[in-house]
Amino acid sequence: MNFNFSEEQQQLRDTLDRYVRKDYGFEKRRGIINGNDGWSREVWAQLADLGVLAVGLPEEYGGLGGGPFDTLLVMEALGRGMVVEPYLATVVLGAGLVARAGSEAQKADLLPAVAGGDLRLALAHYERGSRYDLARIQTTARRDGDGWVLDGHKSVVMHGAAADRLLVSARTQGGISLFLVDAQAAGITRHDTPAQDGHRVAEVALKGLRVGNDALVGAEGAALPQIELALDHAIAALCAEAVGAMGSLIEATVGYLKTRKQFGVPIGSFQALQHRAVEMYLHAEQARSMSYLAADKLGASDVAERRRAISGAKVLVGNAARYVGQQAVQLHGGIGVTDELAVGHYFKRLTMITLLLGDVDHHLALFSEAMGDLP
Amino acid sequence: MDLNFTAADEAFRGEVRAFIDKKLPPDIRRKVLEGQRMVKDDYYRWHVILHEQGWIAANWPKEFGGPGWTAAQQHIFEEECADAGAPILSPFGLRMVAPVIMAFASPEQQQYYLPRIRSGEHWWCQGYSEPGSGSDLASLRTRAERVGDKYIVNGQKTWTTLGHHGNWIFCLVRTNAEARKQEGISFLLIDMKTPGITVRPIIMIDGEHEVNEVWFENVEVPVGNLIGEENNGWTYAKYLLGHERTNIAEVGRSKRRLKRLKEIAAKQPGSDGKPLLQDVRFRDRIAQVEIELMALEITNLRVISADMEGRAPGPEASLLKIRGSEIQQTLTELMMQALGHDALPYQHAAMEPDFSGEVIGPDYGVPLSGQYFNFRKTTIYGGSNEIQRNIISKMILGF
């Protein structure tokens, strides 16, 4: 048992923290999210230079061979600074899926390019009407000669417009399959939309999209467990991001309580407000513990064990993010609900994290259902 | 970063488990697991068994007769004891006064008291709270006046847990009424057989006798029973309060209660004749507290691992206390709720292990409502959760 990060890991965290603090200030971020793309190529190149994009990828494909705890450190640091670049979509979801399920050719083609900052990916899985049910998708892929033709509509695809290639799930005869497609291909229409939290999401329409057989990722009909695992990696990463964001929010809120004066005294001298801040801290510490557990169990050989940890983490972190976000706004008073202050933006990101990839109710149900047969 | 115990730790766990399996008397185990009424001898027998094994003083350093375990081993030991249904060892001697004696007492005092704490010859009680001094402990008024080579003690202590079993009590007493309130307090060890001491029961909300009032009327205490320096007792008192943290979260016992809750919910009828555990609303509430407990287990290990690196006990103990007590209360509440109407009958006599009368409702239901009422204490004792929040507010958030 050991809760320390290695020297290399600490270095990575410090480097990234310094970069985010110095070069990714709130006003810079505002400029990025209001820009055309909603993300910055310059920032992306800098993340590549810092080795951040490579850290979680396998060494034989240009990565640094890190594991879930390296991803956790990166996501926590990105969360502290509300970084909107498509790290989660490209590296955690996209490259992670390819590294685990892709062919040698696919890995060699994509992973070094991701690590070097030259390629972005997105997972297009959920559809209108899926809600959080992974298996409820209607996009189809039918065999056509020695290739496939895809038809369907993917909804709220995280950073779908930033991606050069899309990983698209579709129903095939044998079940659900995954295809790697060029985002610019004829037959794909992407509609980019700003999200509530400054990130971007895309509606992706597939109409008679033709791909070769080499577009198939993994075996035909066998993609669902891989998609579930990829999304679990993303949930663990989101939990770490939320822990980072909550840390920043608590720091800002405690700082505000100590300086804002009313009735002639700092409002932080009032016990009612101190205890609220303490409750935020308690939520955040428990959330940190759960983010560790989630990262630790990503590699569990028993899927039920992984499910328990990931869903448990999403429930606890979701509840914590909601409490910390809402109370940070409340304790800031009127300026907490303005666009001007970072606080409201952290709140919005935390809120969207609670909704992404299954909300508290969804994961509580998964956790709870597993108990039904016991003891 | 590694959340798992080492192979050596797991081997240690196996050794502890095998020992408990062999040595924990089945009648005691049954009482604990089924929530029956415990008597002094139940605690004492288990104490002696552990003493003979050399495991009684789990948190003591080797030089004072402890087993020399790492923080991880101490944690594993606690967890296994809790899981198996071993009785809670009274913490007042082993975990509270003993560290103070090790840190601040004279060598003669150490040689006299520590072996007697280990053997169980001395059963210690805590004389901290007074009727007028709860959260504001430093306002305490029990006086000790020095006359020759004795202190004459007068006053009243309260909430003395299992004081009716005890034969020694460590007390905070006022030795200087003029000084600032924290600076006139001394730490005194008192033999409870001394004339002038009266112990009176306080019956708790569940009808049980667990705590007491202790009255002191011209009680003569040799000056040799003073710990450290006169008027420096507040320092020792705070040391004591901050020192006990390996088990403050009560993760092990809460895990056992969670298991019990699921067993009960699987047996109790829910809606449409299915077991209550199939009732989604109830099961979700179990899931919520289970998740909170999973997180607390990791938080607890984080604090232990910081201890192992020799970082001083810090205010994180308050976090463990707050969340740990909230979880204990939720678990006892859900167990009561699982009973439905069967939670209503107050069956005091049925708490005895040899009760042969008729029980209303399932046997396992008898202690559950009382336990719920009793466990409201957990957010009050050991520094109320509001005081714990004050500590975090000041020490961690810097208000």
pLDDT in tens, chain A (375 residues): 889 999 999 999 999 999 999 999 999 999 999 999 999 999 999 999 999 999 999 999 999 999 999 999 999 999 999 999 999 999 999 999 999 999 999 999 999 999 999 999 999 999 999 999 999 999 999 999 999 999 999 999 999 999 999 999 999 999 999 999 999 999 999 999 999 999 999 999 999 999 999 999 999 999 999 999 999 999 999 999 999 999 999 999 999 999 999 999 999 999 999 999 999 999 999 999 999 999 999 999 999 999 999 999 999 999 999 999 999 999 999 999 999 999 999 999 999 999 999 999 999 999 999 986 554
Q: For B171-193, what is the mean pLDDT?
A: 97
Q: Which residues of A touch B393 (CB under 8 A)?
A: 271, 274-275, 277-278
**Is B302 in Cβ contact with A3 (below 8 Å)?**
yes
**Is B392 in Cβ contact with A1 (below 8 Å)?**
no
B3, B283, B292: residue with CB nearest A293:
B3
Query: Taking the mean position of all CA atoms in its chain, how far away is CA A364?
Result: 19
**Is B277 in Cβ contact with A9 (below 8 Å)?**
no
Per-residue confidence band for B244, with pLDDT thresholds at 50, 70 and 90: low
Catalytic positions of B are 244
Q: How many helices (H) and strands (E) does chain B have?
A: 13, 8
Q: Are strands A147-158 and A188-194 parallel, antiparallel or unpaired?
A: unpaired
Measured between CA atoms, the residue of chain A closest to residue B276 is A372
CATH number of A224-372: 1.20.140.10
Report yes or no: B227 and B233 within 8 Å, Cβ to Cβ. Answer: yes
Packing angle, helices A271-297 and B316-338, rounded to 10: 80
Check if CATH label 1.20.120.530 holds for domain A7-117: no
Dihedral over Cα of A158, A160, A161, A164: its sign? positive
In angstroms, what CA-CA distances link B366 with A230, B80, B350, B376, B378? 48, 26, 7, 18, 21
Question: Distance (Å, rounded) from C-alpha B213 to C-alpha B221?
Answer: 19
Q: Which residues of A touch B4 (CB under 8 A)?
A: 1, 296
Nearest to A235 by CA among A110, A348, A72, A94: A72
**Is B291 in Cβ contact with A258 (below 8 Å)?**
no
Q: Which residues of B touch A275 (CB under 8 A)?
A: 386, 389, 393
A3, A281, A368: residue with CB nearest B397:
A281
- Predicted confidence at residue A105, as pLDDT, reads 98
Fold of A122-221: Butyryl-CoA Dehydrogenase, subunit A; domain 2 (2.40.110)
Helix then strand then coil, in percent of chain B rounded to 5, is: 55, 15, 30
Report yes or no: A51 and A12 within 8 Å, Cβ to Cβ. Answer: yes
- Predicted confidence at residue A374, as pLDDT, reads 55
**Rg (alpha carbons) of chain A, rounded to whole number:** 21
- Predicted confidence at residue B248, as pLDDT, reads 85
Packing angle, helices A271-297 and B280-308, rounded to 10: 90
pLDDT tens column, B375-388 = 999 999 988 999 99
Q: Which residues of A touch B278 (CB under 8 A)?
A: 372
**Is B278 in Cβ contact with A316 (below 8 Å)?**
no
Report yes or no: A79 and A249 within 8 Å, Cβ to Cβ. Answer: no
Dihedral over Cα of A142, A147, A149, A155: its sign? positive
Beta-bridge mates of residue B211: B202
- The torsion defined by the Cα of B347, B352, B356 and B362, in degrees rounded to 10, comes to 50
Q: Which residues of A touch B315 (CB under 8 A)?
A: none
Query: Taking the mean position of all CA atoms in its chain, how far away is CA A229?
Result: 13
B283, B286, B294: residue with CB nearest A293:
B294
Query: DSSP state, B378?
Result: G
Report yes or no: B80 and B20 within 8 Å, Cβ to Cβ. Answer: yes
Nearest-neighbour CA in chain A from B70: distance (Å): 12
Domain spans in chain A, listed from the N-terminal domain onward:
7-117, 122-221, 224-372
Report yes or no: B180 and B255 within 8 Å, Cβ to Cβ. Answer: no
Q: For B55-66, what is the mean pLDDT?
A: 94
Measured between CA atoms, the residue of chain A closest to residue B392 is A278
Beta-bridge mates of residue A261: A266
Structure tokens at B82: 């809790």
Q: For B140-159, what is the mean pLDDT?
A: 98
Calculate what percentage of chain B has a pLDDT beyond 70: 98
- Predicted confidence at residue A375, as pLDDT, reads 47
Report yes or no: B377 and B385 within 8 Å, Cβ to Cβ. Answer: no
* SS3 of residue B148 by DSSP: coil
Question: Distance (Å, rounded) from C-alpha A342 to C-alpha A54?
Answer: 29
- Predicted confidence at residue B341, as pLDDT, reads 96
A5, A277, A315: residue with CB nearest B393:
A277
Structure tokens at A58: 């396998």
Q: Which residues of B touch A309 (CB under 8 A)?
A: 294
Question: Distance (Å, rounded) from C-alpha A86 to C-alpha A201?
Answer: 10
Nearest-neighbour CA in chain A from B133: distance (Å): 20
Residue A259 CB burial class (10 angstroms; 0-12, 13-18, ≥19): exposed
Best mutation site among B393, B394, B395 for testing chain A: the one with the most A CBs within 10 Å? B393
Beta-bridge mates of residue A97: none
In angstroms, what CA-CA distances link A2 with B28, B70, B293? 36, 13, 20
Question: Distance (Å, rounded) from C-alpha A350 to C-alpha B137?
Answer: 41
Residue B165: pLDDT above 80? yes
pLDDT tens column, B276-295 = 999 999 999 999 999 999 99
A→B contacts (Cβ < 8 Å), by residue, are 1-6, 9, 69, 254, 257-258, 268-269, 271, 274-275, 277-279, 281-282, 285-290, 292-293, 296, 309, 312, 315-316, 364-365, 367-368, 371-372, 374-375
Report yes or no: B127 and B169 within 8 Å, Cβ to Cβ. Answer: yes
**Is B296 in Cβ contact with A275 (below 8 Å)?**
no
Helical ranges in B35-155 per DSSP H? 40-53, 71-84, 91, 98-104, 107-119
Measured between CA atoms, the residue of chain B closest to residue A370 is B287
Backbone dihedral region for residue B276 (phi beyond 0: left; psi -120 to 50: alpha; all else: beta): alpha
- Predicted confidence at residue B164, as pLDDT, reads 95
Nearest to B324 by CA among A250, A323, A282, A292: A282
Query: DSSP state, A163?
Result: -
Structure tokens at B65: 């007769």
Per-residue confidence band for B316, with pLDDT thresholds at 50, 70 and 90: confident
A6, A278, A315: residue with CB nearest B389:
A278
Beta-bridge mates of residue B170: B126, B189
Report yes or no: A85 and A250 within 8 Å, Cβ to Cβ. Answer: no
B299, B304, B398: residue with CB nearest A286:
B299
Per-residue confidence band for B70, with pLDDT thresholds at 50, 70 and 90: confident
pLDDT tens column, B340-349 = 999 999 999 9
Nearest-neighbour CA in chain A from B124: distance (Å): 33
Contact B1/A at CB under 8 A: yes
- Predicted confidence at residue A373, as pLDDT, reads 59
* SS3 of residue A218 by DSSP: coil
Residues in CB range of B187: below 8 A, 6 or more apart: B100, B104, B170, B171, B172, B226, B227, B228, B232, B233, B236, B237
